[in-house]
Amino acid sequence: MGSKLQADPLLAAFTFTGYGSRYVEINRQSWAQSVVVQTDLAPVAWGPTDVAGITPQDLHQLTDTEAEVILIGTGDRQIFLPATLLGPLRSMTGHRGLPVGIEVMSTQAACRTFNLLAAEGRRVVAAVLIEAPTLLESTP
């Protein structure tokens, strides 16, 4: 089952407009793969498909921004990342030299939170995991 989201398009060039268990929509374009979204830059594919597959390099991709907040959507449910992965991010500074907030939550919550922060004019980045379908799910 999917959901549609409403966002204020005047404050962010890119927002989530919907989500489901195997996709997200960004500006009404469906993404069936993991993706990194910023309020002012076009979305880009993100390599990992589950929490276990996230590497320090994947997280480094999120730090090359002017973000105030980084959201990590972990799929249908919230799965905390190991402290060894998040530790280096916790010392980052972002926009105006302030510490960057890092939040890990379900992908659906990350989509909603991204839109709320973007509507406030905040600089936010969301990296959301979209699990690849299993072999049984992909066969007709």
Q: For the chain, what are the domain ranges?
A: 15-132
Instruction: Please report which confidence band the pLDDT of residue 2 belongs to, taking 50, 70 and 90 as the band edges.
Output: low
Fold of 15-132: Hypothetical Protein Mth938; Chain: A, (3.40.1230)
Query: Which pairs from 39-45 meet CB under 8 Å and 24+ separation?
Result: 39/11, 39/12, 39/13, 39/14, 39/15, 39/118, 39/122, 39/123, 39/124, 40/12, 40/13, 40/14, 41/13, 41/14, 42/14, 43/14
pLDDT at 7: 47
Most trustworthy range by pLDDT among 6-15, 72-81, 86-95: 72-81
